[in-house]
A and B are shown apart, each in its own frame.
Chain A
Amino acid sequence: MKTARFFRILLAVGIAFAAVGRTQAQTPAGPIPLSVLRKDQEKRLPALDALKAGGVVGENNQGFVEVRGNGGDYAANLVADENHDRAVVYTLYARKYNMAPKQVGLRRAKKIAEKSKPGIWLQAPDGTWYQKK
């Protein structure tokens, strides 16, 4: 009798764990594979580079792009799409390493600041904007 009860509880716990596992597998950042995101970002790259080179868009200190000048809807939409894709990437890696997406973004921002070419607008950690020399 006791054994049957134990197995019933074990079965219930197993079903509960399986259910949790399924929901967790479905929730993380949607079903978008990283390769698709990268292709979208690659398509967007020439336009984004042109805006960055023209000083309309800059790289902020959180790992995202920001419209600085007057770029209109075109720049705003491009920046929004790029930031969406970057946010998904940061969130995926943040989940992998059990850290906040913001921390991942900060690390990417640091790398962008190091690698950006002269003339690109960057945001310093204190929030001030400067043009890389």
Chain B
Amino acid sequence: MKCRLLICTAVLPLAGCVNVKPIEVKPIHVTVDVNVNVNVDKDLDNYFDDLDKKSTTIAPVAKPAAQPAPAPATP
């Protein structure tokens, strides 16, 4: 009886450790990719912008209108 109890107490804690799976989180790769894409886009724009402006088949991208200056506060 004592022997069975001993085996049970020895095995039970181990059973809880069997199904533990590590969780992998890779946020750094995503950040780097986004930054690289932004930089590549910027370089491509710098190179091709002049050509695109001269092209008759490519329309210039409409830039967002500048925010109107706030009206001066009236006393």
Binding site for B on A (CB under 8 A): 34, 38, 41-42, 45-46, 49, 52-53, 89, 93, 96-97, 99, 103-104, 107-108, 111-112, 114-117, 120
Instruction: Assess whether B61 is in contact with A114, with CB atoms less than 8 Å apart.
Output: yes
Please tell me if B55 contacts chain A, counting CB pairs below 8 Å: yes
Looking at the assembled complex, report how far the CB atom of A21 sits from the nearest CB atom of chain B, in whole angstroms. 24
Looking at the assembled complex, report how far the CB atom of A8 sits from the nearest CB atom of chain B, in whole angstroms. 40
Instruction: Enumerate the 3 nearest inter-chain pairs by beta-carbon distance, A residue then B residue, closest first.
Output: A52-B57, A49-B56, A115-B58
Pick from B37, B55, B59: contact of A107, CB below 8 A: B37
Looking at the assembled complex, report how far the CB atom of B44 sits from the nearest CB atom of chain A, in whole angstroms. 5
With a CB–CB cut-off of 8 A, which chain A residues contact B59?
Answer: 115-117
- Kindly supply a per-residue 1/0 record for chain B positions 44-68, scoring 1 wherever the CB is within 8 Å of any chain A CB and 0 otherwise: 1101101110111111110000000
Alpha-carbon gap, A116 to B55, bound state (A): 10
With a CB–CB cut-off of 8 A, which chain B residues contact A49?
Answer: 55-57
